[in-house]
Chain A
Amino acid sequence: MYGKGLRTLSAATCLALGAAFALVFFYAPLDADQGFIQKIFYVHVPMAIVALLGFVAGAVMAIGHLRTGDRRWDLRSYVAIHLSLILGVGVLITGAIWAKASWGHWWVWDEPTLVSFLIVFLLYATYQPLRFSIEDPERQARYASVFAITAGAFVPLNFLAVRLAESLTHPRVLSTTGGALPGSMRLTFLVALAGMGLLFVTLWKYEMASKHATAQLRSLRRKLGGEEIASPGRSAAPRTAAPAHPGA
C-alpha cells in the first residue's frame, strides 16, 4: 500500500532536485556580498524548513495515534521524526559551513534561526533514547506519541523565544524565508524547496513500504509455522503488529 506511486514520486523527486541544482549553478545570480558560498542557502534553508515541517508532521501523526489507538500512526510518526533528525544533522552541518564562510566562525550565537534549530534538534535527539528505554511496545508507542506532540508544540514557541532574545541587538540581514529575495533567487529557492519536500515524502514512503513489507513477511512466516525470525530484541523502532493480510 505504501509502494503505490513510488516510481512516479521518485522520478518527480529526481527531476525536481536535478532542476534545483541546475538552477542553483547556472541560473541563480551570485550574491553581491557573499559570492559563491551563498549558494549553500539553496540546500540549507529548504532542508531546515522540511526538517521542521517533518517534526510537526510527526506531532500530527502522533495525535492520530493517541486519538485512534492505531499503532500504524505511531510508525508513521516515528519514520517522519527519524527522517527529520537525519535532515537536521545536514542542516547543522551546512549551517556551520555557511557560518564559517561568511562570518569566519563555525558557530554563531547571534543567528536566532540557527540557535533555535539546535535547541529543537537537541530535544528531538532524546526521541530515540526515550523509545529505546521502554520495552513494552504498546507503552513505547504511547509515550513516544506524547513526546512527539509536546516537542511539536515546542517548535514554534522556541523559535518565538529565541527570536525575541536576539531581535533587539541584531537586526536581521538576510531574510531566510525568501521573502526579500530577488525574483531569480526566489524561483531557485522555491524549486529547491519543492525538491527537498519531495525527497522527504519519497524517503518516508520508501521507509514505510520497507517496514510494512518486513512486518508482512514476519506474519506470513509465522502462519507457515516456519522457524521464528530471531527477535530483534529491544529496539527504538516501533514493532508493528502484523498488518491485516489481504484475503486472510
Chain B
Amino acid sequence: MSTVGALLRKELRMELRTRESVPAMALFAVTTFVVFHFGLDRDRLEGELASGVLWVTLLFAAMLGVNRLFVAEREQGGFDGFLLAPVDRSALLLAKALALFAFLVAVELVAVPAFAVLLLGPGIGPALPELLGILLLADVGLAVVGTLASALAIQTAARDLIAPLVALPLLIPVVIAATRATAPLLLETGAENVPLRWLGTLGLYDMVFALLAYAVFDFLLED
C-alpha cells in the first residue's frame, strides 16, 4: 500500500509540476463542446443527445490522458527503475489507474460545468447527485481499461494509434451504460430516475476489468 501511495504521489506531483495531461484534456473537452455546437447546429441539448455528447467528449478527452500515461516511464527509464525496486508490480497498475482516475475527476470538474453552461438546456442542479455517481462509476472503468490499454501500447512502435484503437471498443459498454443512465437526468421536462440496471452494468464492468487488469498486468512489465 505504501508503494502505491508513493507511486501515486510521484504521479500527482509530476502532473502538478509539468501540467502535461489535465489542462490539455480539459481544454480538449471544452473545445469539443464548441465543435459539437457547430457540428450539430444546436444551441441547447437535452435528453439522449445531451448525454451522448457529454460522454463521447469525456471518452475522447480520456484518450488524451491514456496516450500520455506511461510516456515518462518509457522515455526516462521509469520502467527499469520500477522493475529494479523490490516491490509488487501490481502497485504500478493501481497507482497509474488511481492517477488516471484523479485526472478524469479533475477534467470533469471543468468539463461538466462547461457543458452545463455551453450546451445543456435544462439546469444541471437537480440531476447533480445522481450524475456524480454515474461519473465516478464510469471513471473507474475508464481508468482501469485506459491504464491497461496504455500499458499494452506503450512499448509498440505506433503507440499513439494502438492505445485508442484498443481502448475504444473495450470502452463501448461503458459508453452504452453511462449514456443510458445519464439521459433521463437531462430531460427538458425534469430529471427522471436513473435505471438501476445501468449502474449495475457499470459496476460489473468495473469489477471484471479490474480483476482482469490485475491478472494480466504483470506480464506487460516482465523484461
Contact = CB atoms under 8 A, between A and B. Distances in A.
A206 B180 CA distance: 46
A154 B144 CA distance: 14
Interface centre among B152, B169, B204, B208 (most CB of A within 10 A): B169
Contacts of B204: 157
Contact of B152 (A146, A158, A161, A162): A146
Interface in B161-213: 161-162, 165-166, 168-170, 172-173, 176-177, 180, 197-198, 201, 204-205, 208, 212-213
A66 interface: yes
Contact of B219 (A123, A146, A153): A146
A115 to B, nearest CB: 9
Query: Chain B at the A interface: mostly helix, strand, loop or mixed?
Result: helix
A119 interface: yes
Interface residues of B, number: 34
Given A143-B152, A143-B220, A146-B219, A119 B165 contact: no
Nearest to A127: B166
B208 A142 contact: no
A147 B166 contact: yes
Nearest to A149: B216
A123 B134 CA distance: 25
Given A157-B173, A165-B176, A145 B219 contact: yes
A129 interface: yes
Interface string A120-158: 101100100110011100010011011101110110011
Contacts of B170: 123, 150-151, 154
A164 interface: yes
Interface residues of A, number: 29
Nearest to B177: A161
Contacts of B220: 142-143, 146
Interface string B135-167: 000000000000010001101111101100110
A119 B169 contact: yes
24 contacts: A122-B169, A126-B165, A129-B158, A129-B162, A130-B156, A133-B156, A134-B155, A135-B157, A139-B223, A142-B220, A143-B156, A146-B216, A146-B219, A149-B212, A150-B213, A153-B212, A157-B173, A157-B208, A160-B173, A160-B201, A161-B172, A161-B201, A164-B176, A164-B201
Interface of A: 66, 119-120, 122-123, 126, 129-130, 133-135, 139, 142-143, 145-147, 149-151, 153-154, 157-158, 160-162, 164-165
Given A150-B213, A154-B169, A164-B197, 7 more contacts: A122-B169, A133-B156, A139-B155, A146-B220, A149-B216, A150-B148, A158-B172
